[in-house]
Structures are given as C-alpha cells and as structure tokens.
Amino acid sequence: MSRADAVAILPAAGKGTRLGEAKQFLELGGVPLLVRAVERAAACSEIAAIVIAAPPGEEERVRDLLAAHGADAKLHAVVAGGAERADSVKAALRAAPAGLPMVAIHDAARPFATPELFTRVLEAARRTGAAVAALPCTDTVKRLEGSGVTTVDRRSLWLAQTPQCFRIEQLLRAYERAGNDVSVATDEAALIEALGEPVELVPGEKENFKVTDADDLRRARGMVEAPAAVGFGFDVHAFEEGRRCVLGGVEFPGETGLAGHSDADAALHAIMDAILGAAGLGDIGQHFPDTDARFRGADSGVLLQEVAARAKAAGFRVQNVDLTIAAARPRIGPRREEMRAKIASILGIPEARVNVKATTTEGLGFVGRSEGIAAQAVALLAR
C-alpha cells in the first residue's frame, strides 16, 4: 500500500550557462521544464509535498508559473537556492514540512520521469536508506590518460539519474559530515557513499534524460510537440480608386488598388494569417492593428517577413505555402511566376515551395462582379 511520506525537492536555481538562459524556464509545448518536472513528481501518490529551490529573486515567478499551469497542488514552499546544488538542496530541506521521513531529490531539467520511477526509488530507499535511479552503461567506455587510451569494463558502470531518494535524517548526517567539501560531490548519493553507507541502484528510464544543451532541448521538444503544423489564412479587400494594386508582393500598374490600412495586399495577408495560425500566434489584426498609425500604407512584404521571424522565434520555420487568389481582375496568370519568386524571397525558402493559383469564380459573387479580391492560403510549418 502506498504512503505519502516523502517530500520532493527540486533544485532549480541554475543559471543555464550551457543553454544561454535558465533552462528550467524553457518551454516544451508551452509548458516550462520546471513545471513538467513538478507535475511528474506530484503525480506520485507517495509524494506529500514539494519544495523548490529557485534562483534568488525568482521565487514569486516560480509560484506564479506553477499556479498558472495548475501544478501547485502539492507545493509547500519555494526558497532561494544557492550558488551550488548542495546549497539549494540544504535550503529546501530546511523548508520541508516536519514529520516526513523521506526525501526525493529530482532535477528540474528532467521533465520525463514517470511517477512509477519515483515510487520504485522511494521503496528502495525505505529499505536501505538511500537509492538512486540509474541506467547501466551500454556503450564501450574509454579512459584517456595522457596520450594513451584504455578500455574500461563497463559491466559495473551505471549512469546516475534522478530521483535520488533518502531517509532525511541520513542525508542530513551526510551533509554535516561533508562540511565545506559538500560542493565536491556531484550528487547527493556521493555524500551517502562518503559515509560508508549503502546506496541501492534502481533501474531508471531512458526517457528520463536531463536537458543540458541545445541538442537535448530539441530532443525534448520533439517528444511533446508535433513535428509540423498547418495553418489556413483568408483575406478579402474591396477595390478602391486611387490606390496602388499590389498582390503577392507584385505591383500591377494601371489596375485599381484595394482598400485597406496597409497596402492591402490580400494575397500576402492570407499567407500571414496562415503562418500565424500554424504557429498558434493569433492573426495579423493582433500583430498589426489597423488602429496603429505605424502600419498605415505599410509594405505587406515587410510585414510578412516580420511574421516569419515571429514564427521562427516560436520554434517554427516555413516549409511551403499554397496560395489561391480569387479575382476577376487583374489577370494573375501572366504574373504568377513573378509572385512565386517574390513570396519565396520574402520567406527565405526555395521557389519550388511556393504555389500560386488563381480563379475568377465564373462571374459569381462579389469577386465575379469585380467588387474586390479574395485570397486563401495554406502554410506548412516545421519545428
């Protein structure tokens, strides 16, 4: 029968030097790594409370993040972490609720540990006092000494993960014994080993990897985010005398232009909405409102470049665009290839990935009556 006798501690005070920013706040599918790690710990029925060691000054941010994602049900405290991992864990231990004999320490940058793994490691720690999730080393291991290389017997080698679980009183003794040398240990189990007391290895999980660099982040995002996204865009503009006629980034001299706040390029506007839709970034009205004087008469090609840049910042790149223009005039056919080249140039993709089609609607509707132009676009984005 399971028992809720453990506090989970997540040291999350790192600055993210390898990724260039604090990785615990980086998002996977819209959810920060830290939140995903907390959710996994909280899903274990044997975890009664959670304490997080946050970067100093970021405590409120961490609380707000957890609350915003509904992951604060078991949150007991958020404390300021220290310069070293050991300092953060000790600060969190001091804030742990009284009466819980067990602690599970888990990296905030391991977002995929299963609740069952927490349970297995806790069960082992109750038996022996200390237990660690770990994977047997499957690769051949080489030791470099000077200019020489020797092969190490991998049969006795294991790769440590988290959670690492302990009886709290035992871990506190290990910290006291280590004294000022505590930061030398790369994990908590090493402190128990220094006491001469046993540590049990519990088979870990391959998916329970730690996000430490950009490759790890891409792998993690690939596990939770769709590899591609599709968006649809639609735009309509009425004709207006005295306006330049611009479609697909190409000007049609002598033709009546379209009414609008910007240059009213309905074709590029449809593409913009398709890209924004695929990236989950709203629509062009949100990004370039017609109430903003900065966009009066704006070149839609420039706006499309900005949309592509915002999609890229959200983790997407444009793969291809399929555009359909419904217009009785001007004639699109003679300028089709020019439009394809222009759109491809704006988006920075090969021309072969841009398709432009045209229809006249056979005289039906507002298009058939030459009252305006409509455009539809589908965009495929890859992560």
CA distance 156 to 228: 42
Number of domains in the chain: 2
Flag residues of the chain having pLDDT under 50: 1
Query: So what's the pLDDT on residue 1?
Result: 46
CA distance to 65, 97, 105, 218, per residue, from 75 (Å): 12, 11, 14, 29
Same domain? For 155 and 294 the reply is no
Residues tagged in the binding site annotation for a divalent metal cation: 235, 237, 269
Q: For 182, phi and psi rounded to 5 degrees?
A: -60, -35
* Of 101, 25, 96, residue with least CA distance to 65: 25
145 and 214 in a single domain? The answer is: yes
* Whole-number Å distance between alpha carbons of 222 and 100: 37
Tokens describing residue 343: 């759109």
Q: Are 249 and 346 in contact (CB under 8 A)?
A: yes
Domain identity same for 35 and 158: yes
If asked whether residues 197 and 294 sit together in one domain, one would say no
Peptide bond into 32 cis (omega under 30): no
Task: Note whether 314 and 366 are same-domain residues.
Answer: yes
Q: Do both 165 and 247 map to the same domain? A: no
Question: What is the radius of gyration, based on Cα positions, of the chain?
Answer: 29
SS3 state of residue 230 = strand
Instruction: Return all residues near 186 (Cβ < 8 A) that are at least 6 apart.
Output: none
Q: What are phi and psi of 246, to 5 degrees?
A: -125, 125
In a domain, 108, yes or no: yes
Tokens 């983790």 belong to 315
Q: Which residues of 48-78 are buried (b: 16+ CB within 10 A; e: fewer)?
A: bbbbbbbbeebbeebbebbeebebbebbbbb
Annotated binding-site ranges: 235-237, 261-262, 269, 283-285, 288-292, 359-362, 366, 369
Q: Are strands 141-145 and 148-152 parallel, antiparallel or unpaired?
A: antiparallel
Check residue 97 and report its DSSP letter: P
Chosen domain end from 196, 224, 252: 224
Is residue 351 assigned to a domain? Answer: yes
Longest dimension (CA), the chain: 89
User: In terms of domains, do 202 and 273 share one?
Assistant: no
CATH number at residue 240: 3.30.1330.50
Q: Is residue 298 situated within a structural domain?
A: yes
Determine contact, residues 83/176, Cβ cutoff 8 Å: no
Residues in the chain: 383
Phi, psi of 159 (to 5 degrees): -105, 115
- Look at residue 375 and tell me if it is in a domain: yes
**Residue 1: inside a domain, yes or no?**
no
Nearest to 266 by CA among 292, 291, 243: 243
Q: Judge if 158 and 233 occupy the same domain.
A: no
- Tokens 């001007």 locate to 330
Same-domain check for residues 261 and 137: no
244 domain residue, yes or no: yes
Does 48 lie in the same domain as 122?
yes
Structural contact between residues 25 and 55, judged by C-beta atoms closer than 8 angstroms: no
Residue 337: per-residue pLDDT: 96
Q: What angle do CA 220, 223, 228 make, to 5 degrees?
A: 110
CATH number at residue 38: 3.90.550.10
Q: How far apart are CA 370 and CA 239, in angstroms?
A: 8
Looking at 224, 245, 267, the residue that finishes a domain is 224
Calculate the CA 198 to chain-centre distance.
38
Q: Which domain holds residue 105?
A: 6-224
Q: What is the pLDDT of residue 23?
A: 85
Is there a domain that residue 301 lies in? yes
At 344-381, the pLDDT tens digits run 999 999 999 999 999 999 999 999 999 999 999 999 99
C-alpha 70 chain-centroid distance: 18
Task: Tell whether 21 and 122 lie within a shared domain.
Answer: yes
If asked whether residues 337 and 211 sit together in one domain, one would say no
Q: Of 207, 224, 241, which marks where a domain is finished? A: 224
